[in-house]
Amino acid sequence: MPDILDFYAQTHTPYLHARGRRGTGLLLNEIGEVPGEKILELGFGTGQTLVDVAGRRPECELFGVEKSEIMMQVAAKRLRFCRLNRINLFMANSEGALPFPDDTFDVVYAESVLAYLPEAEIRAVFFEVYRVLKNRGVFLLNESLWRKHVSPETMDTINRECVRLFGMPQAVEQIPYPEDWVSLAGQTGFRHEKLVHLTELPENPNFPAFPGSFCSGLFTLGGRIKKNLSHALRLLSAQYRESERSFSRFGLFLEGVFFKFSKPDDY
Ligand SMILES: C[S@@+](CC[C@H](N)C(=O)[O-])C[C@H]1O[C@@H](n2cnc3c(N)ncnc32)[C@H](O)[C@@H]1O
């Protein structure tokens, strides 16, 4: 089965993370509170959150790094369509190194990018993010992690099935729970600032439309129309939906978690 992320790229799908647009609302509130001028998104997918952050922090310089070429092409199209030409997009380096000097960013954020990667790659990304953040900079993450009742055997079964059916695992087994991510951040040097279980989203995490939202919505709609007009994409969509249904036997096994970490000041 083809990688589901390629399908999402071809259909311009936005908000591929826990609680979708509402989860991004929480992220934008946090970004709104951080002073500074440089912001980096890791794994921007089809580029919707870059549009939202550009609206929330128009005075900032925005950067993005993405691993998938097809996501990169689609996000670049979205940004051109929204006339957001000032956002700097980079392909991810295959060794996981970020193409920026030390102490560059005030905020680095990622939405559903790290938890499905291999453990070693997650650890490497934490070190790279720490390196490129300025002192007092913040690292914001929305990740889907295993619920406490899920046994290691079930995690393994689900991951194998997901690789077979969707071309990617569901979530890392070696760093399974929120507290494991907090301790990974601590080992990297970060200070833990906040953890929100996204099942308990605070009030009104939705956000108003920004300049660019309308064009971005049209771009998303274009992807949906493309899907409906393409027999191959419709077929794939039906197959993925059917596969998703086969996971209902496991009940709820993931939860969305929002983390805020900061890089301590040296002084
Ligand atoms: C589940 S999608 C989420 C996309 C987007 N953040 C969103 O919420 O809609 C994960 C994205 O992260 C990208 N990705 C995975 N590992 C990455 C890495 N090490 N550096 C940059 N991008 C990465 C994938 O190619 C994919 O586009």
Distance 116 CA to ligand 1 centre (A): 10
Distance 65 CA to ligand 1 centre (A): 9
> Per the structure, how many domains does the chain have?
1
Residue with tokens 């128009």, as numbered in its chain: 58
| Amino acid (1-letter code) at residue 138 | V
Name the 3-class secondary structure at 212: coil
Nearest alpha carbon, ligand 1 atom 4: 45
Structure tokens at 18: 């826990």
Ligand 1 contact, 68 CB (< 6 A) = yes
Where in the sequence is the domain holding 9, given as residue range(s)? 4-262
Distance 43 CA to ligand 1 centre (A): 3
Which of ligand 1's atoms lies nearest the C-alpha of 71?
Answer: 27
Distance 15 CA to ligand 1 centre (A): 11
Q: How far apart are CA 125 and CA 42, in angstroms?
A: 10
Helices assigned H by DSSP within the chain: 4-10, 20-32, 48-56, 69-81, 119-132, 152-166, 178-188, 213-229, 231-246
pLDDT value, residue 231: 97
Whether 211 maps to a domain, the answer reads: yes
pLDDT value, residue 163: 96
Ligand 1 contact, 78 CB (< 6 A) = no
Q: How far apart are CA 246 and CA 22, in angstroms?
A: 27
Ligand 1 contact, 188 CB (< 6 A) = no
Name the 3-class secondary structure at 103: coil
pLDDT value, residue 122: 96
Whether 249 maps to a domain, the answer reads: yes
Which of ligand 1's atoms lies nearest the C-alpha of 117?
Answer: 16
pLDDT value, residue 164: 95
Whether 153 maps to a domain, the answer reads: yes
| Amino acid (1-letter code) at residue 202 | P
Q: Where residue 217 sits, what CATH number does that domain have?
A: 3.40.50.150
Compute mean pLDDT per 10 residues along the chain, 267 residues long, and list them. 91 97 95 95 98 96 97 98 95 89 98 97 96 98 97 97 96 97 98 95 76 95 97 96 92 96 87
Which of ligand 1's atoms lies nearest the C-alpha of 17?
Answer: 8
pLDDT value, residue 204: 65
Which of ligand 1's atoms lies nearest the C-alpha of 46?
Answer: 9
Q: How far apart are CA 83 and CA 167, in angstroms?
A: 33
Residue with tokens 């390196």, as numbered in its chain: 131
Which of ligand 1's atoms lies nearest the C-alpha of 24?
Answer: 8
Whether 267 maps to a domain, the answer reads: no
Whether 194 maps to a domain, the answer reads: yes
